[in-house]
Structures are given as C-alpha cells and as structure tokens.
A and B are shown apart, each in its own frame.
Chain A
C-alpha cells in the first residue's frame, strides 16, 4: 500500500543523472496533462458554471481565468505543504478552507486593482471556491505530491483552464459582437482602449453566441475540435506511413 504513494523520483535514486531526467519527465507530464491530456475544461469538464457564464467576451474570460489560475496555484501549494499534517478524515474541509481563503484574497485584490472588471465578473469571483477543478486538483494531485510539482500542476492546470476561457470568450465575442479585446482597458489600463479590434461596421452580431446557448455550442465545438485532433494523432501513430487499403465488397454469389 505505502509503496503506491511514494513518488517515482524517490523510488529510483540510483544515480543523480537518472533522478534528474526522471524529474524532468514528470514535469513534462504535468505540463502535458494540464494543457492538453487532462485539460480541466475540455476533458475533465470541471468548472463549467463559471466557464460558460463569463466567457461572453475575451477580457472577462481572461480575468476569470487569471483569478482561477492564481487560486489554483495558492491552494495547490498550501495543500501540498500541509499534506502530511492533516488526517484523512478532515482533509476535505481543510482543503475547502484553504481554497476559500485564497479566493477571498484574490477577490479583494481584484476589487482593489480591477474594480470595474470585478463588478462585471460579479458573483463568479467568489464562486471560484465551488469550482470543482480546484478541489479536484487539491484532492487528486496536490495532497499526494511535493511542493514543486503541486505548484507546477496548479500553474499548468490553471493555464489550460484559462486558455479555454480566453479562446471561448474570443470566439463568442467575435461572432456575437463583431469585436475582439473589447473593454481591454478594464484590465490593462487606459492604454488598452485602442486594442479593440472591430470586424467592420456592417457586421451584425449573432446574439445567440453571447447568450447562454452560445456558450454550450461553443464549448461543444471546442471539445469536438480537440477530440478530432487527438483522433488524427492516434491514427497517425498507429499507421505512420499513412497506408490506406481499399476494400471492395465481393459480388454476392449467385
């Protein structure tokens, strides 16, 4: 039983060189998992409520994505640090308390420095507490791993989530509003007022994209696109030469 929880780097400590390369392998896996293989939004489908609700434009998506990223890193780091001092029975309430603390800090910081954006995102900043992705990473990963990995995992899981939020937000904003980076000054200051890209005055926004159905349709399309890329990759791996065999059905015997 106890062997299973020992991280692989501790298990094989024969030479410093292999230990180092094993660590880099592990890091690479964390990056790959966070951004693609186990993307919290596209694969785990966690945290859909904020994802669907605030992704109606790029800046909103970026704002909530950054907040989630920060919370994930703080909570992963703290959970990893206390993992040997908290008993199994009460671990979940402790995780929640840590996450709630992190969210409160982020909430107050955003209220102080990005006040208008904070107002637009509204209830969804405090609601990061209930984002399953954060508790999911704390329980499934950070509570069993040393600090460096937990921190890295928090960063890349958060980055993967944020990228989906930004892409979905950009998609919905372009289709629904005909703009990109509208209201960017809310995050980047007055200089960003000119960042907004207009698609053209003749473009009639497709309101559906901004409304809730647009979020579901958009996320569905993103997931389908990711699955398509994966399927193509898998097909290439199993058939690297791209050989295609045409099968013609035999004529039925008379």
Chain B
C-alpha cells in the first residue's frame, strides 16, 4: 500500500471534454448568428471543419504522429469555430479554407502540435486573412434588421461559392460593421454620437445585431465559468481593462470616443473575452498572470480600435500578448506555501 497525499479530488477533465464544453458554449452565439445574419455561418463552419479534418490528417501523417488520438482531441474544432465567427458570413469559400489551413499548419503543427504553439491558432489564421485578403474580409453581410431579409441556405451557398446569387452581386447585401462605420465617420468629420444615432436598431432595447451576438457569447461564457471550463480571471481582466480605457476616454471626449456599452458589445469583444483569450495553451497560466495577460489584451484592443489602422484589434492584441506570456508567467509564479519568495 502506498500512501498518497491529499487532496484526493479527481479531475475528470480531458482535452476533448474541455473542447466539447467550449463548442457547446458557442452554440447560443451560433444560433443568434443564424437568426440575425442567415445561414452563411453554417456553410463557413462546415467548410472550416472539412478543411480542419483534411489538414489535421495530412499533417499528423507527415509528422509521423498517431492520427486518431490527436484528431479526436477536438482542439482543431475549437480553432476553426473561433475563426469562423471572425469571418464575414458570405465571404468566398477560399477565405475560410485558407484561413483554417494557415491557422492549423502554421499556428499549431509547425510548432509541434497542440500544447507547443505560442500563438493562438485561430487568431493567427484571422490575422493572416485580415492582412492577405483585406477586401473580402471587410464585406460583412448586413443583418436582417438592416436589409429586411436574410439569405437562406441555398442563396448563401451560391454567394460563398460563386460570388453572387440569382444574378445579384454581393454588394447588395454587404456593408460596413458598426466599428467600420464609426471609423469612416470619424475620418469624414462625423462625430461618434451622430454615427451611432444614424444607425438606430429596431431590435429590443435598441441593441443592434452585433450587440446581440456579443450577448449570446456572454451567455456561453458564463456557462463555461460556472462549470469550471475557463477561469474568471480572463474575462474580468480583459473586460475590466477595456472598460476602464473606454470610460476614461469617453469622459475626456465623447465626440471622438464611443460609449462604454458600444465598446463592450461591438466587434469581437465578447468572443475574445470568453472564447479566445481563455485558450489554455497560449494564455498565461498563473492566477495573477491571467489577470495581467487579459488586461494587456484589453488595453491593446482599445488602443488598436481607437488609434490603429484596423477597425477591430482583437487578433493583433491577442497575438501581441501571446508573445509576452512566457515573461508574465516567469514573474507571477505563486509563492509555494512555507517558502519565501
């Protein structure tokens, strides 16, 4: 008989279980996306998953690794799911295919597979797409509340694979996201409150479609915090820092800087807060480190949105803080009980 030391709690988590929890938590946002923007995201997601299966199989074979255990850890599924939410729902098919392939090959396998990648693969794929294909990546499908209808499955498929539907060009249904409108407005001298007022929404509480997607992400995120899939430090640190920045600058100049509610419920804020920066491989792992890492992303997101060249800064903020993770972890090691620092 060997004596084990306490605690005797059994951690019944595996990579696959965690990943499936995350996929489950993304479901409300997926449903909201379908309801508000149409079926484009479903086709994109299927394309991404098909790409992921092919890429994972090929790369694992090439690297001489056992295929089945690594493919069924479901991490590639989460990577492409995160990526798909960042891609315009009616983007051409090669956008999502090349983005998923880049994310998995260059973001994960070239570094040695899951657990060795310093950068979040989904955000690497997104950054790759933003830089490589700026035009299709900014053509967002307008939600149903703006154009009056959403595309059904067949029409979405036509647009994604052929670039038009029933002879109509893509321009008829695409436009700028609120973050883009704000930026364009500012460059033309339109003040922020005017831009926001010009795009009042018919949806409940006056929140636009993008805000509702963000709220759906909050629901999924709370579920993951409650069942222990993600730690609270990430969203708290990220949203706290982002709110602080937004609050300070709104007080300074409300004509140039958008209000707090807009900052929190636009772009990929909540997707990042609960689904992307919580990636256990690329995020900081010490309790204080988690807060610092997340807060750093929050500040960077606000900086890039307000003064950078891109309307949303999620991808670049996360990649930049990914580089800093080893340093943060080094200096935030918790004190072992009974030891001096």
- Which residues does A use to contact B, with CB under 8 Å? 204, 206-209, 211, 213, 217
B160 to A: closest C-beta gap in Å: 14
Q: Find out whether the CB atom of A208 lies under 8 angstroms from the CB atom of B106.
A: no
Q: Find out whether the CB atom of A207 lies under 8 angstroms from the CB atom of B131.
A: yes
Chain B residues lying within 8 Å of A204, measured Cβ to Cβ, are 94, 133, 136
Contact mask B73-96 → A, CB, 8 Å, 1/0? 000000000000000000000100
Q: Find out whether the CB atom of B134 lies under 8 angstroms from the CB atom of A207.
A: yes
Chain A residues lying within 8 Å of B132, measured Cβ to Cβ, are 206-209
Q: Find out whether the CB atom of B131 lies under 8 angstroms from the CB atom of A208.
A: yes
Chain B residues lying within 8 Å of A211, measured Cβ to Cβ, are 131
Q: Find out whether the CB atom of B128 lies under 8 angstroms from the CB atom of A208.
A: yes
Distance in angstroms between the alpha carbons of A79 and B132 in the assembled complex: 45
B110 to A: closest C-beta gap in Å: 9
Chain A residues lying within 8 Å of B134, measured Cβ to Cβ, are 207
Chain B residues lying within 8 Å of A206, measured Cβ to Cβ, are 98, 132-133
Partner of A217, one of B98, B106, B133, B136: B106
17 A-B pairs whose Cβ atoms sit less than 8 Å apart in the complex: A204-B94, A204-B133, A204-B136, A206-B98, A206-B132, A206-B133, A207-B131, A207-B132, A207-B133, A207-B134, A208-B128, A208-B131, A208-B132, A209-B132, A211-B131, A213-B131, A217-B106
Q: Which A residue's beta carbon lies closest to that of B129?
A: A208
Chain B residues lying within 8 Å of A207, measured Cβ to Cβ, are 131-134
B117 to A: closest C-beta gap in Å: 15
Chain B residues lying within 8 Å of A208, measured Cβ to Cβ, are 128, 131-132
B154 to A: closest C-beta gap in Å: 23
Q: Considering only CB atoms and an 8 Å cut-off, how many residues of chain B contact the other chain?
A: 9
A196 to B: closest C-beta gap in Å: 22
Chain A residues lying within 8 Å of B98, measured Cβ to Cβ, are 206
Chain B residues touching A, majority SS = helix
- Which residues does B use to contact A, with CB under 8 Å? 94, 98, 106, 128, 131-134, 136
Chain B residues lying within 8 Å of A217, measured Cβ to Cβ, are 106
Distance in angstroms between the alpha carbons of A117 and B40 in the assembled complex: 46
Chain A residues touching B, majority SS = helix
Distance in angstroms between the alpha carbons of A207 and B136 in the assembled complex: 13
Distance in angstroms between the alpha carbons of A206 and B94 in the assembled complex: 11
Q: Which B residue's beta carbon lies closest to that of A203?
A: B94
Distance in angstroms between the alpha carbons of A208 and B101 in the assembled complex: 14
Give 8 new A-B contacts, CB below 8 A, not counting A204-B94, A213-B131.
A206-B133, A207-B133, A207-B134, A208-B128, A208-B132, A209-B132, A211-B131, A217-B106
Distance in angstroms between the alpha carbons of A208 and B102 in the assembled complex: 11
Chain A residues lying within 8 Å of B128, measured Cβ to Cβ, are 208
Distance in angstroms between the alpha carbons of A206 and B97 in the assembled complex: 13
Distance in angstroms between the alpha carbons of A207 and B102 in the assembled complex: 14
Distance in angstroms between the alpha carbons of A207 and B134 in the assembled complex: 9
Q: Which B residue's beta carbon lies closest to that of A176?
A: B132
A174 to B: closest C-beta gap in Å: 14
Q: Which A residue's beta carbon lies closest to that of B95?
A: A204
Q: Which A residue's beta carbon lies closest to that of B92?
A: A204
3 tightest CB-CB pairs across the interface, nearest first? Answer: A208-B132, A206-B132, A207-B132
Distance in angstroms between the alpha carbons of A81 and B131 in the assembled complex: 50
Most chain B beta-carbon contacts within 10 A, residue among A206, A213, A217: A206
Q: Which A residue's beta carbon lies closest to that of B106?
A: A217
Distance in angstroms between the alpha carbons of A204 and B94 in the assembled complex: 9
Chain A residues lying within 8 Å of B136, measured Cβ to Cβ, are 204
Most chain B beta-carbon contacts within 10 A, residue among A208, A209, A211, A213: A208
Distance in angstroms between the alpha carbons of A207 and B128 in the assembled complex: 9
Chain A residues lying within 8 Å of B94, measured Cβ to Cβ, are 204
A233 to B: closest C-beta gap in Å: 19
Q: Which B residue's beta carbon lies closest to that of A205?
A: B132
Distance in angstroms between the alpha carbons of A134 and B98 in the assembled complex: 39
Distance in angstroms between the alpha carbons of A211 and B98 in the assembled complex: 17
Chain A residues lying within 8 Å of B106, measured Cβ to Cβ, are 217
Q: Which B residue's beta carbon lies closest to that of A220?
A: B110
Chain B residues lying within 8 Å of A213, measured Cβ to Cβ, are 131
Distance in angstroms between the alpha carbons of A204 and B133 in the assembled complex: 8
Distance in angstroms between the alpha carbons of A146 and B94 in the assembled complex: 57
Q: Which B residue's beta carbon lies closest to that of A210?
A: B132
Q: Which B residue's beta carbon lies closest to that of A206?
A: B132
Distance in angstroms between the alpha carbons of A117 and B134 in the assembled complex: 28
Q: Which A residue's beta carbon lies closest to that of B135?
A: A204
Distance in angstroms between the alpha carbons of A213 and B94 in the assembled complex: 21
Distance in angstroms between the alpha carbons of A207 and B95 in the assembled complex: 13
B108 to A: closest C-beta gap in Å: 15
Most chain A beta-carbon contacts within 10 A, residue among B98, B106, B128, B132: B132
Distance in angstroms between the alpha carbons of A217 and B132 in the assembled complex: 14
Q: Which B residue's beta carbon lies closest to that of A213?
A: B131
Q: Which B residue's beta carbon lies closest to that of A221?
A: B110
Q: Which B residue's beta carbon lies closest to that of A208?
A: B132
Distance in angstroms between the alpha carbons of A211 and B133 in the assembled complex: 12
A208 to B: closest C-beta gap in Å: 4
Chain B residues lying within 8 Å of A209, measured Cβ to Cβ, are 132
Chain A residues lying within 8 Å of B131, measured Cβ to Cβ, are 207-208, 211, 213
Chain A residues lying within 8 Å of B133, measured Cβ to Cβ, are 204, 206-207
Distance in angstroms between the alpha carbons of A67 and B196 in the assembled complex: 56
